[in-house]
Amino acid sequence: MIDTGRWGEAKAAVFLQEKGYKILATNYRHQKAEIDIIAQKSDCIVAVEVKTRTNTTVEKPFHAIHKTKQRNLIKAINFFVRSWSSPVEIRMDAISVIKQFDEIQIEHLEDAFPPF
């Protein structure tokens, strides 16, 4: 059986690479948080939360990123960039991957919530 979440994260990583992002880390853990993808584009470090669904629901997958999850992601990405030698911009993105039958829809929401 396929792990739907990991499958969606892999699709999201390829999607980002095709858009010119460099993948720096996947499934990065810090304390209670796990960042699905950390990517870089120019001087911007992007923490990406991926939500994958295999059916249509009333709400978009983005709505599943609640405030506690956001706070944990922000702490984790701020910890990650502490080791950076030069100043960088931080952005928090979300990617929705929906698979219905043979169709895959990917939606990328930049600046999904503030990184502080």
- CATH number for the domain harbouring residue 15: 3.40.1350.10
Cβ contacts of 68 within 8 Å, gap of 6 or more:
none
How high is the pLDDT of residue 1?
A: 37
Residue-number span of the structural domain to which 40 is assigned: 4-109
For residues 23-60, one letter each, b for 16 or more C-beta atoms within 10 angstroms of the residue's C-beta and e for the rest, the string is eeebebeeeebebbbbbeeeeebbbbbbbbbeeeeeee
Give domain status of residue 116, yes or no: no
Give domain status of residue 13, yes or no: yes
pLDDT tens, residue order, the chain (116 aa) = 358 889 999 999 999 999 999 999 999 999 989 999 999 998 899 999 999 888 766 566 666 777 888 899 999 998 998 877 777 899 999 999 988 888 899 999 999 877 66
